[in-house]
């Protein structure tokens, strides 16, 4: 099987968690800064609160990037929404809040940006997260290109496929092992997103032969970027929004 078909509708360069490390990750401040550097596609981590609100946060626990303490899944959105999600990064970002997925969708709508939503469920919350996030995006995202849903959690991708089958999906891989191609195809994925050092020419060829697009995380050096572009990757997720010059959304 080849991957002949519609052109890939996303930019090659994708800003990791909004603006990489230059602003507090997964906040609207990070999205605004990434946009100021010219990025028009963003990656972010989305999970659910105890009462089912989709919001941005990478870790299962709150301590690293917020003023809260404990497992995020133990709290409702009213509690999570008032936490300080910026002071850990720098004083100038003190008071920045955790954004809801709805707020991020609104930002992308206003700025004409694309989005890669990593489904980042708390342990045991995989299916609810995939279903709720996919349903919300299917309702609220009304322009092209559609958001790309990715995850390491197979159950979350399965639930997303059942809830919103038309939204494109990608399988995240730290290593290319086991039956990764079969898993991606079973999930109806359009792409695989591999850890930057895991990509080899052989893996790239296998992915292409399976009809999959090729993306990598997290690409922060010129050497990695050059090697991966030479392999023909379609997307590079980076923290270095101040270093790599992004491309525009395809026409």
Average pLDDT, integer, range 59-64: 98
- Residue among 35, 58, 89, 209 flagged as catalytic: 58
Whether 214 shows a pLDDT value over 80: the answer reads: yes
Q: How many CB atoms lie within 10 A of CB 223?
A: 9
Per annotation, catalytic residue among 16, 89, 93, 203: 16
Instruction: Tell if the pTM clears 0.95, that is, is over it.
Output: yes
What are the C-alpha distances in Å from 241 to residues 41, 53, 129, 238, 246? 11, 29, 29, 7, 8
Mean pLDDT of 57-67: 98
Which tokens belong to 114? 């694309």
For residues 118-135, average pLDDT: 98
Contact indicator for 113, 42 with CB cutoff of 8 Å: yes
**Tokens representing 55?**
């919001």
Q: Catalytic site residue 203?
A: no
Active site residue 209: no
How would DSSP label each residue in 114-183?
EEEEEE-PPTT-HHHHHHHHHHHHHHH--SSSPPEEEES-HHHHHHHHHH-TTS-EEEEESS--SSHHHH
Report H helices in 2-153: 28-36, 77-80, 101-111, 126-140
| 221-248 tens-digit pLDDT | 999 999 999 999 999 999 999 999 998 7
């Amino acid at each position: 099987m080849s991957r002949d078909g519609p052109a890939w509708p996303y930019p090659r360069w994708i800003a990791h968690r909004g603006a990489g490390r230059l602003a507090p990750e997964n906040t609207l401040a990070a999205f605004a800064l990434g946009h100021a550097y010219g990025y028009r596609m963003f990656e972010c981590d989305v999970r659910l609160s105890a009462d089912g609100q989709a919001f941005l946060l990478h870790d299962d626990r709150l301590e690293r990037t917020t003023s809260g303490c404990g497992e995020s899944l133990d709290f409702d959105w009213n509690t999570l929404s008032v936490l300080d999600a910026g002071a850990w990064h720098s004083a100038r970002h003190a008071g920045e809040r955790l954004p809801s997925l709805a707020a991020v969708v609104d930002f992308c709508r206003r700025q004409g940006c694309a989005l890669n939503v990593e489904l980042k469920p708390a342990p045991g919350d995989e299916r609810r997260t995939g279903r709720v996030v996919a349903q919300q995006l299917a309702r609220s995202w009304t322009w092209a290109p559609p958001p790309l849903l990715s995850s390491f959690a197979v159950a979350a991708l399965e639930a997303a496929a059942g809830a919103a089958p038309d939204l494109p999906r990608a399988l995240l891989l730290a290593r290319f092992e086991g039956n990764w191609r079969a898993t991606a195809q079973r999930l109806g994925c359009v792409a695989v997103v591999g850890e930057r050092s895991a990509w080899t020419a052989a893996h790239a060829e296998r992915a292409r032969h399976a009809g999959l697009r090729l993306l990598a995380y997290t690409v922060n050096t010129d050497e990695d970027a050059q090697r991966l572009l030479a392999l023909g990757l379609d997307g590079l997720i980076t923290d270095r929004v101040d270093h790599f010059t992004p491309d525009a959304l395809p026409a």
